[in-house]
Amino acid sequence: MNKTIRRAAAFCLLLAFAVLLRATWVQAVQARALADSSDNRRKVIAQYARPLGDIIVAGEPVTGSRRTESGDLAYARTYTDGELYAPVTGYSSQVYGATQLEGVYQDVLDGTDTRLKNPADVLTGKETEPGDVLTTIDPAVQKAGTEALGSKKGAAVALDPATGAVLGMVNTPGYDPGRITGGSAADTRAWRELTEGEDKPMLNRALRQTYPPGSAFKLVVAAAALEDGLYGSVAEPTRSPDPYTLPGSSKVLTNENPSAPCENASIRTGLQYSCNNVFAKMAVDLGQDKVKAMAEKFGFNTDKMDIPVRAATSVYPSDMDRAQTALSGIGQFDVTATPLQMAMVTAALANGGELAAPHMVDRVTDGDGNTLEDHSGPETSRVVSSGTAEQLRDAMVTVVERGTGSNARIGGTEVGGKTGTAQNGVDNSRTPYAWFVSYAKADDGKQVAVAVVVEDSDAARSEVSGNGLAAPIARKMMEAALT
């Protein structure tokens, strides 16, 4: 064999070895990544080759699957009362992927989760039946919140204080996920409509949008003051000049009601009339570190809050000067919170000072109904003492019975709450946010905690208030939960 042939043979052998090495690398190392790639059409075909498992509300599926009329995707997702439950289910689309519970539990719902397979199925590659996701949502609470919010832009969350179960999660304006499940031209038009407008109906404001909580945050500051011993009870007078000048500043902090008895008011009176001077001064007296520590006990500054959908981080800031600390005491400056977070504050107070971890999935089951995950046993943490919680509940009842939260009253039922009106935009140039956070307790001991934020409404700016806009929504949800 001459030299040229030997060299050609060696080169061909090298090429063959390179091809084998590349094939081995793809099959052994990159196989999973390629299989999971969004560009892999085979994955989508397999996912929609049969009906998906369902998301269940109160024993009834609110999702389904329909046989498609053409194309290589055999089935498409369907929704019952899609707009009502979209903040919970999210969507599962042949083109745009999946969100919310549809996304978190995609492997369970399409049957590829390894927990659905027994050892024999794993060895043989046998297809398994999809599983189901059973939620904690109460249809009556969900419907009451959606109807009460109506055309307003906002969100609301209702929790069971004892278990942390999410009874209602409402977001307006809403959308019907059934409009974007397929790949037709109509689905494409619907997607553009939902994603290009200013209203952002697909944004889950209850979980993923943070707002300045305004005066609703005064509950956190009051809890810090009682736990620290700065004040011994909600009836003790505070050291709160009115008007109050922010430390190191010439800015004078005023109260919404100039005739309210806010000078040196007690915590009870300060909550009843929503006295800014009381809680701004209280935050300065405590110092930002103590207020921050209490806020974090309630859940602020938690980076990974999964219920199981991940919530945005509610923030109590650091490195503030004394004037900024004062403003943080009334839920302004850089304090931000989701409606879920503020519902957690009132839920902990309603539950004797213990916070049950919020969750909106009760169980996950396989195709035969066997439990894969069980979230019914609450995980709790102590936030404040039972005595502090009892005092603040009593003060919140005063807010509803004789203060700024009168529109939340439910005849014959113990209701406590706190209003909030938070500045929006530079120098409060935009319509303020209206908050109401509350709890209600029935004679049989059943309880519910609710937080409502109204981001925008048809009300005139002068009529925007937590009591006027948000409290009636909270009342409707509380009534539905207790009955």
Q: Is 453 helix (H, G, I), strand (E, B) or coil?
A: strand
Q: What is the pLDDT of residue 34?
A: 47
Q: What angle do CA 396, 162, 392 make, to 5 degrees?
A: 20
Half-sphere exposure of 223 (CA within 13 A, CB side): 30
Q: What is the pLDDT of residue 429?
A: 54
288-295, long-range: CB < 8 A, 24+ apart: 288/318, 288/320, 288/325, 288/328, 290/224, 290/228, 291/220, 291/221, 291/224, 291/316, 291/325, 291/328, 291/329, 292/316, 292/318, 293/224, 294/220, 294/221, 294/223, 294/224, 294/227, 294/383, 294/384, 295/220
Q: What is the pLDDT of residue 204?
A: 96
365 CB neighbour count, 10 Å cutoff: 19
Q: What is the pLDDT of residue 1?
A: 56
| Pair type for strands 97-98 and 92-93 | antiparallel
β-bridge mates for residue 354, sequence order: 382
Residues across the chain: 483
The domain ranges of the chain are 210-361+375-482
Which tens digits make up the pLDDT trace of 367-426? 999 999 999 888 999 999 999 999 999 999 999 999 999 999 999 999 999 999 987 655
CATH number at 210-361+375-482: 3.40.710.10
Q: What is the pLDDT of residue 129?
A: 92
274 is catalytic: no
Q: Print pLDDT tens along the chain (483 aa).
A: 577 777 777 777 777 777 777 766 656 565 455 455 556 667 777 778 789 999 999 999 999 999 988 777 878 999 999 999 999 999 999 999 999 999 999 999 999 999 998 766 655 566 789 999 999 999 999 999 999 999 999 999 999 999 999 999 999 999 999 999 998 999 999 999 999 988 999 999 999 999 999 999 999 999 999 999 999 999 999 999 999 999 999 999 999 899 999 999 999 999 999 999 999 999 999 999 999 999 999 999 999 999 999 999 999 999 999 999 999 999 999 999 999 999 999 999 999 999 999 999 999 999 999 999 999 888 999 999 999 999 999 999 999 999 999 999 999 999 999 999 987 655 555 678 999 999 999 999 999 999 999 997 655 544 568 899 999 999 999 999 998
Q: Are 175 and 194 in contact (CB under 8 A)?
A: yes
> DSSP characters for 138-175?
-HHHHHHHHHHHTTSEEEEEEE-TTT-BEEEEEEES--
Which tens digits make up the pLDDT trace of 97-123? 999 999 999 999 999 999 998 766 655
Q: Are 58 and 167 in contact (CB under 8 A)?
A: no
Marked catalytic residue, from 65, 93, 215, 465:
215
Q: What is the pLDDT of residue 462?
A: 47
| Alpha carbon distance 31, 478 (integer Å) | 51
